Amino acid sequence: MSDLKNKPVLVVGLGRRGAAACELLRQVGARVVVLDQADTPELRVTAAALAAQGVEAHLGADRPPGRDFALAVLSPAVRNDSPIAAELAARGIPVIGELELGYQQARCLTLAVAGTNGKATTGELIERMLTGNQRSAVLCGHGARPVCAVAAGSSALDYLILQVNAFQLENTATFRPAIAVLLNLAADHRDRYPRAEDYARVMARLFANQQTFDWAIVQSEALARLRSAGLPLPAKLITFSAQNRRADLYLDRGRIFSRLPDWTWPLLDLGRCRLGGAHNAENLMAALAVGHILRLPLDAMADLLATQPAGAHRCERVGEVGGVTYINDSKATNVDALQRALELAPGGAGEPNVWLIAGGVDKGLDFYEVGPLMSQRVKGAFLIGAAAEKLRAAWGLFTACNLRGSLLEAVDAAAAVAVPGDVILLSPACSSFDQFRNYQHRGDVFRQAVAERMAAAGRPDENGTARP
């Protein structure tokens, strides 16, 4: 990064990542101005705290201040075709994202994990694997702490592990992870990337600046998508897949195998692992490949990975009342994630036993494709939020669909019809921003509703993972 000391820098967006960017810029001596189109009590508190550090804040602002800036840092939520971004471009102000800013200030090796689904789980697996082998590593990025919040102290670390989404990759310039992992390219964010190729091109920026001595770890199916779009991968390549046995790491009869020249034996038995399902097998493969590149001993890796539990809001079993199991999969914000949750849901014995709670903000996805699986697993669906009518139109041929005004109403309705052996599954297939702050808030509301039902039934709290 060029020297920003005493230079004016504009930050657009005052959420958690914007605030972290402001603080990092102040640490390097920049003169920082931040704006946000919203003006809420929470943002006012944040703006006041930043003002004490010398940051000038403009809330409720839909245009950048009319002055020259050496640089603008955009929140991932701000689209590049927005009026603010367009005005910055017209004024010739260079634009980067919070990820790029944090990366440029980082002072240790960077590992990046991207993909439609599985970033958080894989990032946590890699962090556990590294720290359990006496490597100092911190997980940050999308869904975790902001990169800018840890960049200044990164010289004391061996690795930064970055969870990276497409929005963050849009405004990268020099971003170059030493090891880059692409887990999958399922349909997502069609409201921002209308064509699948558009989404693939943005995700391919993960590899754009890599050199021949860097590493790319890529799911075979995602690699085929990149190659069909003519998107190059300059780094050394390791492939993995739960479906394709020609991949370098592959799944066969419940075990992960390798065909890499210097690593040709079974690596991990999924029967030992707390994480279940083919998608988690791929997450484990990606983590194993990272560890292999970093020369970690297999036995130590396998023991740590096998004992990793599922994270919060990811097929999280939150309780049982009257023989009915409640599962919180609030992090499922697209159709592919919903499909995985239905495949993992326990029981059924060939008959539908899932009462699904879904809905929220539609991201332009095709919901029909999960219909056949719903006919096999779902007894009925209770639909909430802005996308409820679209979901009913897509799923009504496959299962009974009922609209409810809120998540709590949906939980009550599902509990009223569920019988012992059934599962009440929150797996929305939509984003949460119509009724909730984020997917964590949505999952916490569900958890609380279940906790209240358990308390009324005189049952102790439960925590665990939904397993087949």
What DSSP string runs through 182-201? E----S--TTT--SHHHHHH
> What type of residue is 339?
Q
Does the structure show a pLDDT above 70 at 468? no
pLDDT of residue 1: 47
> What type of residue is 439?
Y
Give per-residue pLDDT as tens, 145-190. 999 999 999 999 999 999 999 999 999 999 999 999 999 998 888 8
pLDDT category at 466 given cuts 50, 70, 90 is very low
Contact in structure between 219 and 183 (CB atoms under 8 Å): yes
CATH 3.90.190.20 is held by the domain 316-465: yes
Does the structure show a pLDDT above 80 at 231? yes
Q: What percent of the chain has pLDDT over 90?
A: 86
- Report how far residue 242's alpha carbon sits from residue 344's, in angstroms, rounded to the nearest whole number: 15
Rounded to two decimals, the pTM is: 0.88
Closest CA to 242 of 186, 284, 305: 284
pLDDT of residue 463: 46
If residue 447 lies in a helix (H) or strand (E), which one and from where to where?
helix 439-456
Contact in structure between 450 and 361 (CB atoms under 8 Å): no
Average model confidence (pLDDT) across the chain:
93
> What type of residue is 181?
V
Give per-residue pLDDT as tens, 117-153. 999 999 999 999 999 999 999 999 877 799 999 999 9
Does the structure show a pLDDT above 90 at 2? no
- Give the CATH class of 100-306: alpha beta
Domain range annotation of the chain: 8-93, 100-306, 316-465
Give per-residue pLDDT as tens, 88-97. 999 999 999 9
Find the length of the chain.
468
Only one residue has tokens 């599954």, namely: 425
Q: Longest C-alpha distance within the chain, in Å?
A: 67
Contact in structure between 115 and 222 (CB atoms under 8 Å): yes
What's the CATH code, domain 8-93? 3.40.50.720
pLDDT of residue 297: 95
Give per-residue pLDDT as tens, 28-47. 999 999 999 999 999 999 99
> What type of residue is 305?
L
What integer is the mean pLDDT of 269-279? 93
Does the structure show a pLDDT above 60 at 432? yes
Q: What percent of the chain has pLDDT over 70?
A: 97
pLDDT category at 465 given cuts 50, 70, 90 is very low
C-alpha 187: how far from its chain's center? 14
Closest CA to 360 of 337, 380, 330: 330
Closest CA to 26 of 149, 162, 207, 156: 149
